[in-house]
């Protein structure tokens, strides 16, 4: 029996007889020599086969294999700086595990719809492989960062009895003859958790019936939500910037190869150092008004003070900064019911959005929560929310209320920015959007 080795672990096995179990990525032949590019999920190796060594029959079988056939290749491993990946296998045998005829995704260009319809296969392609490895690193980085600071992971439900982020994007579902809604956020439950553990985070899929077809909206996306009791808005922004700085530097450190494959401008990520600038909503409005006067003919930059920012507005605001930027003190009318009002101006909330640079827009939304029972009850009524469904949430103010703050980080938007890719649909294995439920 030969030793089965992953390509990623090759450096420990140079000179040994090994076997690699994988799929045929590509092949070319030159007379009596066949070069097979084999990928095993952890890397790609060039396996060199000579007709003389393996015999006519096996040679011809291998030569006839289609792209993505599964196979186990055995042979001697040697270092070769000219070979892709830096190693080469000198093949002594091949076991064909499964054939693959007319694999739909060839190296030629395909349209996005076609690739999305074949997402289950597209995942094997180099770029998609790199993006999802970065996703893995980003998730591990966020967890390690928060765990390292003593946070407890507290999971929150997906079936919920009420809206938390506005009723227009709720997915309703039948729940034993009653109505349930898919969670838009885990925040309200994380607040309960923070009162039990001090600092917690929830991390899971969240759902919004977004009828928009932008490159920044999924209907199912992953949100990471830390929540800390006795924390205020300032502490919240500090936590957010520290976390982003930490994870970006981890990805630079551990996923350099993937970033290179994606042709990411590394310099832009190396800039991501705290402190991130903080500017008020009002200041952003000044920037937008100035921009409008300087670009009178540009469409789509119209803006009324008091409105929420659109994608184009966010890009304009972020344009002059080389790192993420935190916009705080939004008008209360455009934000959620639970945000605490600013003491110096009741019309503003103690909330912030983090905007990524390079036009990627909002990646984080957070706030200090209303901690006063009577005020919160008033807000629930003002927003026409069903008070009954929020009794448990009000209990958090009835029994030992404290200041509390947290934020929600959109995982796919963050990955899209770190990877420098255009559309967030590639930042999740199986994206769900308005017109995309398959595969
Ligand atoms: O700003 P949002 O709506 O904040 C909340 O849900 C708070 N309850 C979070 C909290 O304070 N614990 O959403 C947070 C983030 C956004 O900044 C964005 O990155 C992402 O979630 N997000 C989406 N990502 C992809 N597709 C969508 N449709 C998204 N909607 C929000
Ligand atoms: Mg938001």
Summarize pLDDT for 249-261 with one digit per residue, the tens. Answer: 999 999 999 999 9
From the CB of 165, is ligand 1 less than 6 Å away? yes
The predicted pLDDT at position 163 comes to 81
Neighbours of 186 (CB within 10 A): 29
Q: From the CA of 265, how far away is ligand 1's center (Å)?
A: 26
From the CB of 369, is ligand 1 less than 6 Å away? no
Segments of the chain with pLDDT less than 70 = 1
Q: How far is CA 212 from CA 18, 93, 169, 206, 216, in A?
A: 51, 53, 11, 16, 9
Kindly give the pairing relationship between strand 70-79 and strand 152-153: unpaired
Q: Which CATH superfamily is domain 3-98 in?
A: Nucleic acid-binding proteins (2.40.50.140)
From the CB of 363, is ligand 1 less than 6 Å away? yes
Q: How far is CA 102 from CA 61, 67, 95, 409, 418, in A?
A: 16, 8, 20, 41, 34
From the CB of 410, is ligand 1 less than 6 Å away? yes
- Which tokens hold the place of 246? 């930490």
Question: For residues 215 and 111, what is the distance between their CA atoms, to the nearest angstrom?
Answer: 16
Q: From the CA of 224, how far away is ligand 1's center (Å)?
A: 9
The predicted pLDDT at position 63 comes to 95
The predicted pLDDT at position 213 comes to 82
- Nearest-CA neighbor of 358 among 267, 236, 223? 267
The residues of the chain that CATH labels 2.40.50.140 are: 3-98
The predicted pLDDT at position 389 comes to 92
Q: Which CATH fold topology does 119-427 show?
A: BirA Bifunctional Protein; domain 2 (3.30.930)
Which helix (H) or strand (E) segment is 225 a member of?
strand 220-229
Three state DSSP letters for 178-223: EEEEECCCCHHHHHHHHHHHCEEEEEEEEECCCCCCCCCCCCEEEE
Q: How long a stretch of residues is the chain?
A: 439
The atom number, within ligand 1, closest to the CA of 184 reads 6
From the CB of 406, is ligand 1 less than 6 Å away? yes
The residues of the chain that CATH labels 3.30.930.10 are: 119-427
Question: For residues 254 and 244, what is the distance between their CA atoms, to the nearest angstrom?
Answer: 15
With vertex at residue 131, the alpha carbon angle to CA 48 and CA 201, rounded to the nearest 5 degrees, is 135
Question: For residues 336 and 358, what is the distance between their CA atoms, to the nearest angstrom?
Answer: 27
Dihedral pair phi/psi, residue 107, rounded to 5°? -60, -15
From the CB of 425, is ligand 1 less than 6 Å away? no
Q: List beta partners, residue 77.
A: 89
Kindly give the pairing relationship between strand 325-328 and strand 278-280: parallel
What global pTM score does this model have?
0.96
From the CB of 191, is ligand 1 less than 6 Å away? no
- Which tokens hold the place of 159? 């079936």
Exposure string of 282-321, with b = 16+ CB inside 10 Å and e = fewer, is eebbebbeebeeeeeeeeebebeeeeebebbbbbbbbeeb
Cβ-proximal residues to 318 (8 Å cutoff; 6+ apart), any chain: 325, 355, 356, 357, 358, 359, 360, 361
Ligand minimally distant from the alpha carbon of residue 165 = 1
The predicted pLDDT at position 175 comes to 96
Which of 166, 168, 181, 185 most suits a substitution to test ligand 1, by most atoms within 8 Å of the C-beta? 185
Question: For residues 45 and 122, what is the distance between their CA atoms, to the nearest angstrom?
Answer: 20
Q: How far is CA 318 from CA 123, 287, 299, in A?
A: 32, 10, 18
The atom number, within ligand 1, closest to the CA of 411 reads 19
| DSSP-derived 3-state class of residue 66 | coil
From the CB of 361, is ligand 1 less than 6 Å away? no
pLDDT in tens, 334-370: 999 999 999 999 999 999 999 999 999 999 999 999 9
Question: For residues 368 and 383, what is the distance between their CA atoms, to the nearest angstrom?
Answer: 18
Exposure string of 372-387, with b = 16+ CB inside 10 Å and e = fewer, is eeeebeebbeeeebee
Question: For residues 141 and 250, what is the distance between their CA atoms, to the nearest angstrom?
Answer: 7
Q: How far is CA 117 from CA 104, 210, 426, in A?
A: 11, 21, 13
- Nearest-CA neighbor of 94 among 74, 79, 76, 114? 74
| Contact criterion met (CB below 8 Å) for 186 and 200 | no
- Which tokens hold the place of 288? 């937008």
Q: From the CA of 353, how far away is ligand 2's center (Å)?
A: 6
Which of 181, 212, 221, 235 most suits a substitution to test ligand 1, by most atoms within 8 Å of the C-beta? 221
From the number of C-beta atoms within 10 Å of its C-beta (0-12, 13-18, 19+), residue 192 rates as: middle
């Amino acid at each position: 029996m030969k030793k089965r080795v992953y390509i990623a672990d090759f450096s420990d096995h140079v000179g040994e007889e090994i076997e690699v179990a994988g799929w045929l990525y590509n092949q070319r032949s030159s007379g009596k020599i066949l070069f097979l590019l084999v990928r095993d999920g952890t890397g790609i190796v060039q396996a060199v086969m000579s007709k003389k060594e393996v015999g006519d029959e096996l040679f011809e079988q291998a030569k006839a294999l289609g792209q993505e056939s599964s196979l186990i290749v055995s042979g001697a491993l040697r270092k070769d700086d000219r070979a892709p990946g830096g190693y080469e296998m000198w093949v002594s045998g091949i076991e064909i595990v499964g054939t693959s005829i007319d694999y739909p995704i060839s190296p030629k260009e395909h349209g996005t719809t076609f690739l999305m319809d074949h997402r289950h296969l597209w995942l094997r392609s180099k770029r998609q492989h790199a993006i999802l490895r970065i996703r893995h690193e980003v998730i591990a980085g966020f967890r390690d960062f928060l765990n390292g600071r003593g946070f407890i992971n507290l999971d929150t439900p997906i079936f919920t009895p009420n809206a938390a982020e506005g009723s227009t994007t709720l997915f309703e579902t039948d729940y034993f003859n009653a109505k349930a809604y898919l969670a838009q956020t885990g925040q309200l439950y994380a607040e309960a958790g923070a009162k039990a553990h001090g600092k917690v985070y929830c991390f899971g899929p969240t759902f919004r019936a977004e009828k928009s077809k932008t490159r920044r909206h999924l209907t199912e996306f992953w949100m990471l939500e830390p929540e800390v009791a006795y924390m205020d808005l300032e502490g919240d922004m500090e936590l957010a910037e520290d976390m982003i700085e930490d994870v970006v530097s981890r990805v630079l450190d551990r996923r350099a190869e993937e970033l290179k494959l994606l042709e990411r401008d590394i310099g832009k990520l190396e800039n991501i150092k705290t402190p991130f600038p903080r500017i008020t909503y009002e200041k952003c409005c000044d920037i937008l008004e100035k921009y409008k006067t300087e670009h009178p003919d540009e469409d789509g930059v119209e803006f009324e003070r008091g409105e929420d920012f659109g994608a184009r507005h966010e890009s304009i605001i972020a344009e002059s900064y080389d790192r993420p930027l935190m916009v705080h003190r939004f008008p209360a009318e455009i934000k959620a019911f639970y945000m605490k009002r600013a003491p110096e101006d009741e019309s503003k909330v103690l909330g912030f959005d983090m905007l990524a640079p390079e036009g990627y827009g909002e990646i984080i939304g957070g706030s200090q929560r209303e901690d006063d029972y009577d005020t919160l009850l008033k807000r629930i009524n003002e927003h026409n929310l069903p008070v009954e469904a929020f009794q448990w949430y009000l209990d958090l103010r009835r029994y030992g209320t404290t200041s509390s703050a947290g934020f929600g980080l959109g995982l796919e938007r963050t990955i899209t920015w770190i990877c420098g890719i255009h559309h967030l649909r590639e930042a999740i294995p199986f994206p769900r959007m308005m017109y995309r439920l398959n595969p």
